[in-house]
Structure 1
């Protein structure tokens, strides 16, 4: 046994030398793949601290949404790669025109910040490890062959290569343990690696390895399982250690609010670019257009606010704030906003409206008070802040309505757009599991099936809804695309008579 251990260590040292020969020696981040063994060093600004974590969390939240929706691995991988391209690019070592070190530093910093945010409970740790494991696997499977080999050789994974004599002595056992048909297996030419069987429980469970003296003989095509299990075990252990150190950060008033916000990311997804959108970012709309738009394009939270406003001719403060900022970002100008709210509050006199409401409307547009141009509220903000009480209309119906009321409301709002009672069990199961933005995304898909939106497509590219304005903007975009296609068909059908 001692001789085998010495041979393994010697081979590992040889592999590390080979990696240095390939030109990665001296680089802080020589590989795109990373086990995150060492925390980032040097100074990091609060802005960088938060930005790196948010961009990474966008990807992890979409991975968790994919798990909730039971997407096949190929689809999850495609969506994850698209999100990585958008928020967390990692170019190969052969790339010449990009700052690879900056990319990999962002990846590194974001991972460690999220460790702080998600180490606080066993449930958060489990969800974080599952999402990080999926991200690592996606990157591993898509990595360049030479760079992947260099990464494998850069670490001591504790495997020992099976000798040709050992393979010949156990040829029949190795064939029997293969997941492939015996015709396709030549164990004498295939590579095999010995590790403790506890390192590959997934392969043992599936009977895809040969076991001897407590060691699993893993074929090279299953070698990735060793790497994945090692990554998962290391990360879980690191999170537990981080949790023990976390109390020392409790007095840092700069960092704790950021970590609290990040840890809520799996509940509501992470706000897209809509989180910083302001008035004028969409096409201009008028007060007269809102009734029709609400029926066709609004998510349940805004649809509910609109219907309550029409019914009661009034909304309480947080309802006005949530709905007013949404309409502002949708493209409602200040003049049209005053017109809309004045018409909606038809039961009150002009003096009362001007005294109690006009100022607040102008304030939300940055025209009064400290003149801040407030953005619309994201799904995460709606879910986590200013919880609705008796008589309130704001909030998220998927979270704040009772199950019976939610089902009744969804059918009332969206039956004309194709939602049926048969769709409700799937939606309600997602709501019960606490994935409210995933439920909203599924409603979007169902109600826009006529515009060609397929199940699993979300608002585009598989992305989930994370902002009410994102939902409405995509809905309007689909309508314009459909109208454009319809107009083109009419033009193509015209016949010019000579």
Structure 2
């Protein structure tokens, strides 16, 4: 068993993870401050899956910040992702398994707390993303249910009575900016240090160290309380993490999760070959597909292969698996690689490369169906071939982007935004913006849409499949117009 307690973590057992349940067997509210860790048995698979689904949401929230999305755009994208990966219905929803949804939400938060408590940078990013998620849920919560949640907690605010309101009427109206609803508006007093955002925006009246917060700004107190508590709990969790390191089963899972902000979390990508209008991809088609539909990492591998007539072992593995999932059959793969390695004879090719090609297709060795590498795996690799957005120098990256995607519509003006994103360490976001910029004409992709529904690129094959899909739709539309 794996047991998480409020002030400690201890390892006990082999096949289950035990975590504490909030509020017994019931979750009375959709909103949650995650005060108490869960304590119930879950499988390792549920432990990881609940965290991955939540991380998909948090990674997209961070991507939204990196892409300078407006608050409304961020809300829309986040709510879409939540509906897909982490639904959390209100108590009045009919037919929804609210208990199960809230349980998964609760568990996933605490697993990620373990993964992201281990450094100041990870804590900062997790805190910001979680607070944003809470704000979005708070704004969308049903009014009556939100009130019940607020009443269930002690936020240590003091309701301002009528006599005090009248005493400071002039001052309160100055900050409120309107007087038509003053008589019915509620006010709360809190120490001014609890609402620094409102103080900074001059939205509250200050007197004797107290901030008089109008009811419509009450959410600022709630957000500050959530953020302060989570920041404290993350530090507390970090102190006891060494006890958790004894469990070898969880170390790898937590390490993998902590990389989630680096490259996002791969969507539910299928390794089924891409459909090319019902036809399989031929070796002679790869050059054209690379020029039109490949992400920068795979374009770089393809260009190196064409220039040097060779790739190192990891380069061949990464690019070969990408082509496999793209839809290149093993027979066509052998033809492709044989033509690419045209400086060696057939005997050398058969001895050195043919077996490995068949092995990657599951036809040799242990006959495993190896998946193509996702963005996270490529970003965290040693750097060769790696991700150009991370491993190229700024000068080389700019030059490579213009030469590679200039024919597809990328301009020197676009580079400024892309390079700023790279500088901030949001490499998959930079790749997503390049996708949007180079598909605005053919696919009509607008800024913020990503590969669809606002999602960022998290897998090279995902990039190519969407690009090919948009091109196919564009061709069909053009054909219809001609006929």
Pick aligned residue for 1:264 from 239, 245, 259: 259
Query: What CA distance in whole angstroms lies between the structure 2 residues aligned with 1:343 and 1:141?
Result: 59
What SS does the corresponding residue of 2:257 show, helix, strand or coil? helix
Pick aligned residue for 2:189 from 175, 190, 194: 194
Where does structure 1 lack aligned partners over 5 or more consecutive residues?
A: 1-24, 389-393, 492-498
Pick aligned residue for 1:210 from 205, 211, 214: 205
Query: What CA distance in whole angstroms lies between the structure 2 residues aligned with 1:228 and 1:442?
Result: 31
What SS does the corresponding residue of 2:40 show, helix, strand or coil? coil
1:279–1:328 Cα contact (<8 Å) kept? no
Q: Hey, which bits of structure 1, 4+ residues long, moved more than 4 A?
A: none
Mapping 1:238-277, distance limit 5 Å: 238-274=233-269, 277=270
Aligned-pair distance for 1:188?
Answer: 2.1
1:82 aligns with 2:74: no
Pick aligned residue for 1:437 from 428, 436, 439: 428
Aligned-pair distance for 1:281?
Answer: 5.0
Cα deviations across residues 85-141 of structure 1 (Å, max 9, x unaligned)? 110001121223232111111111110011111111111111111100110011111
* Alignment RMSD: 1.5
What SS does the corresponding residue of 2:42 show, helix, strand or coil? coil
Aligned-pair distance for 1:279?
Answer: 4.0
What SS does the corresponding residue of 1:217 show, helix, strand or coil? strand
Pick aligned residue for 1:280 from 263, 273, 276: 273
Aligned-pair distance for 1:351?
Answer: 1.1
Cα deviations across residues 190-237 of structure 1 (Å, max 9, x unaligned)? 111111211111111111111222221111100111100000000000
1:471 aligns with 2:463: yes
1:456 aligns with 2:448: yes
Tell me the TM-score normalised to structure 2 length: 0.92
Q: Say how many residue pairs are matched.
A: 458
What SS does the corresponding residue of 2:334 show, helix, strand or coil? helix
Query: What CA distance in whole angstroms lies between the structure 2 residues aligned with 1:397 and 1:425?
Result: 16
2:127–2:230 Cα contact (<8 Å) kept? yes
Cα deviations across residues 55-84 of structure 1 (Å, max 9, x unaligned)? 111110110011011111000000000000
Greater Cα shift, 184-193 or 355-364: 184-193
Query: What CA distance in whole angstroms lies between the structure 1 residues aligned with 2:24 and 2:336?
Result: 63
1:427 aligns with 2:425: no
Cα deviations across residues 360-415 of structure 1 (Å, max 9, x unaligned)? 11111111111110111001000102432xxxxx1111111111111111111111
Aligned-pair distance for 1:264?
Answer: 1.0
1:415 aligns with 2:406: yes
Query: What CA distance in whole angstroms lies between the structure 2 residues aligned with 1:347 and 1:279?
Result: 33
Larger Rg: 1 or 2?
1
Pick aligned residue for 1:33 from 31, 34, 39: 31
Pick aligned residue for 2:123 from 115, 122, 125: 125
User: Where does residue 224 of structure 2 map in the other structure?
Assistant: 229
Query: What CA distance in whole angstroms lies between the structure 1 residues aligned with 2:273 and 2:189?
Result: 62
Pick aligned residue for 1:341 from 337, 340, 363: 337
Where does structure 2 lack aligned partners over 5 or more consecutive residues?
A: 1-22
User: Where does residue 382 of structure 1 map in the other structure?
Assistant: 378
1:57–1:265 Cα contact (<8 Å) kept? yes
Query: What CA distance in whole angstroms lies between the structure 2 residues aligned with 1:347 and 1:415?
Result: 31
1:175 aligns with 2:142: no
What SS does the corresponding residue of 2:335 show, helix, strand or coil? helix
Query: What CA distance in whole angstroms lies between the structure 1 residues aligned with 2:355 and 2:180?
Result: 77
Query: What CA distance in whole angstroms lies between the structure 1 residues aligned with 2:131 and 2:434?
Result: 29
What SS does the corresponding residue of 1:195 show, helix, strand or coil? strand
User: Where does residue 63 of structure 1 map in the other structure?
Assistant: 61
Query: What CA distance in whole angstroms lies between the structure 2 residues aligned with 1:293 and 1:260?
Result: 35
1:319 aligns with 2:315: yes
Query: What CA distance in whole angstroms lies between the structure 2 residues aligned with 1:26 and 1:109?
Result: 14
Query: What CA distance in whole angstroms lies between the structure 1 residues aligned with 2:429 and 2:183?
Result: 49
